[in-house]
A = this chain, B = another copy of it.
Amino acid sequence: MRNILVSGGCGFIGSHLVDRLLGRSDIDRLVVVDNLWTGLRENISHIADPRLTLEVGDVEAFRSPLQFDEILHLASPASPSWYMREPVRVIKANVAGALNLLTLLKPGGRFCFTSTSEVYGDPSVNPQPESYRGSVDCTGPRSSYDESKRCTEALLFEAQRTSGIDVRVVRLFNVYGPRTRVDDGRAVSNFISQALTTGVLTVYGDGAQSRSWGYVDDIVDGLERFFWRDVISHRGPLNIGNDREISVLQVARYIAGLVPGSSIQHHPAMPQDPTNRRPDLTLARRILPGWEAGIPYEEGILRTLAWFREKLDGPKACAEDAVS
């Protein structure tokens, strides 16, 4: 039986992963560490499983009498509007967090880390294979996130090289879906919550910048296959994402079309917003045969829209109830 730690387990992706982990029967304890900075307690409040414990606090300061068989380090904001506000804290969560968690790993244990396609920066190669070294401005306005993910990758692969630790690192491309914060600030969730509230969708720049939109169920399915697998031959980082490349404007138009009365407004471009981003999935398809991020954005957005409708209607309905 195993003790498992998930940092950032109350977050968007983290909480979906916790749901899946509790489907495993070989887990004795599942400890979630989350400081609820961008994570939400309600993301795991539906879970009644006694194996689950939530420890509210910073991952870099977390202490435990337990040693863990598997550590999944997801603690970090992922939305530029969040990480640009508190960059030092982002670096602490990722790098100091990983340094701290490494001390809690059992000998022979496994360390999983969700890195990001941001390690490729504004790429000059499209699609991006794992071997692409990236084009990141290490002093730029996105550097707290990009460089702390890069440095944590370095830390883990160096630990693998010198200590033989079983390290699993995925580079996640854009992910969207239920449990994104309403105030998350990234494109899909922004467009949907804007469509449902103000009716005005703000596109930064001309919207020609493209992304590869991965629906959270597909992405977490990839994580499950890569992280849970007992034996893997691949010792490097692995791209996980949807490789259908769609412009931001196209997504905005699709969402605007789903919500009558909504319209699109252009705002100045975000600083150093990458112009394109698409995973080369050659390796993922070889390492994880059968896995595919198959849910098209049209379908994923419908599901996300339904979730946001319910979320945004929920409190209003309650308020109305209280008044009536």
Contacts and interface: CB of A to CB of B under 8 A. Distances in A.
Interface residues of A, number: 39
A160 to B, nearest CB: 9
A168 interface: no
- Secondary structure class of chain A's binding surface, majority of residues: helix
Contacts of A12: none
Interface string A84-117: 0111100110011001001000000000000000
Contacts of A159: 87-88
B119 A143 contact: no
A280 to B, nearest CB: 16
Given A133-B137, A138-B133, A151-B148, A88 B119 contact: no
Contacts of A79: none
A131 to B, nearest CB: 8
Contacts of A119: 138
Contact of A162 (B88, B102, B133): B88
Given A95-B95, A99-B88, A102-B88, A158 B137 contact: no
A237 B154 contact: no
Nearest to A102: B88
Contacts of A157: 139-140, 143
A272 to B, nearest CB: 11
B154 A139 contact: yes
A144 B71 CA distance: 21
A32 to B, nearest CB: 24
A155 to B, nearest CB: 5
Interface of A: 85-88, 91-92, 95-96, 99, 102, 119, 121, 133-141, 143-144, 146-148, 150-151, 153-155, 157-159, 161-162, 169, 236-237
